[in-house]
Amino acid sequence: MIRGGRSYVTSPPSFSNDAKKLLVCTGNNVSVFSAATGLQITSLEGHTAPVTTLIVVPASSAAQKILCYCWTASLDGTIRHWDFSGPELLKTVDAQVPIYSMVIPCLLSEPQQLDSSKLVAYVSVEDTSLVKEGSKELRGHIRRFNLAKERLPRGDTLKETEEPKSIVISPSGEFFGIRHKCKIHVWGVPSGGGSRNALAKKMTLHHTKVINAFAFHPTERIIAAGDVTGRVLIWRSFGNRKLALASQKKNARSMVDLDNPGVRDGDDAESCTTWHWHSAEVNVLNFSSDGAYLYSGGREGVLVVWQLDTGKKKFLPRIGSPLLYFIWSPEPTLSSVVCADNQIHLLKMPSMEISRTISGIKPPPSLPKMYEGLSSTVAFDRSSGIAALCTENYCVQLYNLLNDRGISEVQVCERNHQPGDEITVVVTAVALSLDGSVMSTTEVKLPEDGIGGLVSLKFWESEPDNKTFTLSTIVYEPHKDAGVSAIAFHPTRSMAVSTSFGGDFKIWVCNSDKSQTEKDSSWICHAVGSYKKKPMTAAAFSGDGTVLAVAAENVITLWNPVKNMLLSVLGVTLTPITKLCFVGKSEFLVAASNFPKPELSVWNTSKLSLSWSYGLRIEAVTSAVDSSTFAVLALVPKTFRKSKSKKNIFRGRDGAILLFNGSDPKPVSIWTVMKAQGGSISFLEGDKSQLRLAFVNGSHEYVVFDPSSDDTHERSAIDYEGLVGEEETGDFGYTSLYGQLPDYDKKRKEDAESLATPFISSERPWETIFSGSTLNFPPLQKLCGEFFESLMEKSNSVVE
């Protein structure tokens, strides 16, 4: 089983002491990457909930740089000590409450004299044991723990807040603090951990706007903070009165009567300076190792370098997405910038050139409500295990699910990133050909004030063994002013179909099949089809490509894609169809409908009849190429998964993957999954000896597993009859279109045959022609002759 797609940006990363490794919090694990290659080396596995804090134990001398020790904290309520060179878990401390942030000051202030029995951590936890459900009591607590114990008591509480806050520590280990609305609370850390009374030393800095980030100077008593409006504030000489040590109090001058420019509410600071360049909130603040420069960043995707003494600045050009963290490495020439689009850029300093990028799966796009549930934003290359995923920046990311690595990106349409810019373009669909060599995308430019709006269909082609796609053909308004509802590729030919809500579908072919000039290849319209002007909502090619199934709202139609000829009408579903999928090369076709009444139905195309159906809301359907196995991703109703008998099975999961074999309505296996809404599934068949199933959830996290193995994935013991409900009954297929056929009375036929009455042609055959079999139609010449003869009058007179 392969898991991947975890977020790299939930917590700040950290460099090893030799700057050769980068440790990144990825879900419940910590992934260790090579700073030179960007490849993952190993991972620290053991936490049962997301890791929130990662602290590398600093080296006290050059000889200790080879040591690889770190501490982690997690929402599972444990603190763990690791040797990440192994990797090996050295110690586990149970805090008994979820930990959102942690600092260990003595690792920074006294690394040479470190005594493990006096190791003290300050943690930000969420304690709901004394909070009544639905109340607004304070859940966040800043506490002090002694890490020498394996099971921690409640600990000393320094402050309580509405929710857990992130703790920031100074590089010297002397101070730590939290931001709370328009304030920064700072504590002084006494030497050796201090007594409980010493922890009362706290000061507060005030501002008029909500503070979004702050940082401590490495050597001086300076705090830099960034607010939600984009301003950067510099407090100098903070805490000279309230946080002064006993040896410093004699030399500390009184500033009560002095004019402290920029300082509010009598704060313990000498001055406060304000800089303003950012147009939106500041997310990133960090000082250089020598304290001469301050780095700031935010939603603009620009890293600003401020000279602390003069306020002069320079910039790292737009990276393309909002910045979240800026981390220094022990090697002064190397640093990292973490972006909101799940990328970590390694920078060469001081030039700030991007030397390498560690890229995870980017988050899915934010779609307007009108497109939610109507977009197909994930496609799969079954042979190579590569997924094409639509992302926020109008891009399609090609990601290798087997190696958990990004391969390339395709910029579907140009975008100049601006903080707070509104969504003007929506990439509504992406599809890949069976061999992964051709990709198709559709995009909609949203109208402004009800004016404008443009639909574009694009075809992209890649070189063999290269997943860097280039634009081949762009078609504006492929279905006039109607939107594209689905795209599907032919399994063996350079052919594709696009369906439209406007009531037609178009078959596209690549002219390189006719012309051998590859460089001049483009896609052209081969045929146009429609059915009773109904909206065309879904389409799929059969396994051999000889039949094209198109959903005309709730009617399934079968076509010859080459001749564009209607072959048959398969049947009618209760609600409009959103997805169609042929089951391998068999005669079965799977149809899914969602609103207003969800339905999963399986049809037999050779008999033009319904095999079975269930009342399930389906997010995705996939089928194996060379077998009769297919799988569906279903959303499980809240009423079902929250019932007392099912709570322990679902455990917060909102969906299920059901595996079927052919026409058998009983699932072979069922797996419960999280974040099923917006998810997708596909079989991966690169290795012919092993069939694997890939599931990508709505947050672009994924798992790849062997559906036939009990060891690789948790198989749920769900009563499928309770999940899918009663099998649907009613009129389907022929009867749904033409009604019930009259009962065939066998006894009546036998009685008629026993009479042995010879067949005598009627003198007026046109009156009985439609009462029998079509095989008994009389010849047209005889029928017409007798018909006209009956209309003529016979004359008995003799003409002389």
- Over residues 82-101, the pLDDT tens digits come to 999 889 999 999 998 999 99
Do 571 and 733 form a contact (C-beta atoms < 8 A)? Answer: yes
Residue 551 CA to residue 578 CA, distance in Å, equals 8
pLDDT of 363 higher than 60: yes
104-118, 250-264, 375-389, 733-747: range with highest mean pLDDT? 375-389
Between 17-26, 238-247, 485-494, 537-546, the lowest mean confidence (pLDDT) is in 238-247
Over residues 714-732, mean pLDDT: 50
| Averaged pLDDT, 6-29 | 92
**Least confident interval from 148-152, 453-457, 676-680, 698-702:** 148-152
Does the structure show a pLDDT above 60 at 321?
yes
Q: For residue 261, name the pLDDT band (cuts at 50, 70, 90).
A: confident
pLDDT, tens digit, 9 for 90 and up, residues 779-793: 665 666 666 666 665
Closest CA to 225 of 188, 183, 271, 260: 183
Cβ within 8 Å of residue 104, ≥6 positions away: 55, 71, 119, 120, 121, 122, 147
- What confidence tier does 764 reach under pLDDT thresholds 50, 70, 90? low
What share of the chain in percent tops pLDDT 90?
47
Q: Supply the pLDDT for residue 778.
A: 57
Per-residue pLDDT averaged across 375-400, rounded?
A: 90
Mean pLDDT check: name the lowest of 249-258, 310-319, 673-682. 249-258
Residue 723 banded pLDDT, cuts 50, 70, 90 = low
Cα 20 to Cα 330: distance, rounded to the nearest angstrom: 10
- Predicted confidence at residue 737, as pLDDT, reads 47
- Of the chain, the percentage scoring pLDDT greater than 70 comes to 78
pLDDT over threshold 80, residue 342: yes
> How would you list the strands of the sheet with 222-227, edge to edge?
211-216, 222-227, 231-236, 271-276
**Res. 176: pLDDT tops 90:** yes
**In this structure, what token pair is assigned to residue 452?**
């404008």
Q: Which residue has the higher pLDDT, 404 or 652?
A: 404
Q: Where do runs of H (alpha helix) occur along 353-494?
A: none
> What average pLDDT does the segment 198-217 reach?
87
Q: Say which residue, 389 or 785, is predicted with more confidence.
A: 389
Tell me how far CA of residue 320 lies from CA of 316, 389, 495, in angstroms.
Answer: 11, 18, 35
pLDDT at 245: 57
What is the token pair recorded at 44? 């620290």
Q: Residue 196 — very low, low, confident or very high, per pLDDT cuts 50/70/90?
A: very low
Residue 22 within a domain: yes
Q: Is residue 3 part of a domain?
A: yes
Q: Hey, what's the torsion of the CAs at 646, 650, 656, 661, to 10 degrees?
A: -60
Q: Is the pLDDT of residue 734 over 80?
A: no
State the pLDDT at residue 754.
44
This prediction's pTM = 0.80
The pLDDT of residue 340: 75
Q: Is 372 exposed, middle or buried (0-12, 13-18, 19+ CB in 10 A)?
A: exposed
Q: Is the pLDDT of residue 257 over 50?
A: no
Q: Over 80: is that where the pLDDT of 343 sits?
A: yes
Confidence check: pLDDT of 762 > 50: no
Classify residue 96: in a domain, yes or no: yes
pLDDT at 752: 42
E strands, 106-227, in order: 120-126, 140-146, 156-161, 168-169, 175-180, 183-188, 202-206, 211-216, 222-227
Domain presence at residue 83: yes
Task: Output 715 or 683, whichever has higher pLDDT.
Answer: 683
Q: What is the CATH number of the domain that holds 143?
A: 2.130.10.10
Residue 15 domain-assigned? yes
Res 57: pLDDT? 92
Q: Which structural domain range is residue 97 located in?
A: 1-129+136-165
What was the pLDDT predicted at 619? 93
- Position 85 in a domain: yes
Question: In sequence order, which residues have a C-beta less than 8 Å from that of residue 726 and are 6 or more positions away?
Answer: 615
Of the listed ranges 17-31, 71-85, 124-138, 589-603, the one predicted with least confidence: 124-138
Contact (CB, 8 A) for 123 and 94: no
Residue 263 pLDDT > 70, yes or no? Answer: yes
Distance CA 177, CA 344 (A): 26
Residue 565 in this model has a pLDDT that exceeds 60: yes
Is a pLDDT exceeding 70 seen at residue 404? yes
Q: What is the pLDDT of residue 190?
A: 76
Residues 6+ apart with CB under 8 A from 274: 231, 232, 233, 234, 262
Please indicate, yes or no, if residue 451 is contained in any of the structural domains.
no
Confidence of residue 258 (pLDDT cuts 50, 70, 90): low
pLDDT for the residue 240: 87
Q: What is the DSSP letter of 58?
A: P
Residue 93 to residue 147: CA distance in whole angstroms: 7
pLDDT in tens, 504-534: 999 999 987 544 444 567 899 999 999 999 9
The Cβ of residue 532 has, within 10 Å, a number of other Cβ atoms equal to 9
Q: Which two tokens stand for residue 407?
A: 């391969």
Give the mean model confidence (pLDDT) for residues 185-208: 74
296 vs 337, more confident: 296
The answer on pLDDT for 729 being more than 60 is no
Q: Binning pLDDT at 50, 70 and 90, where does residue 760 land?
A: very low
Overall number of domains in the chain: 1
84 domain-assigned: yes
Q: pLDDT class for 113, splitting at 50, 70, 90?
A: low
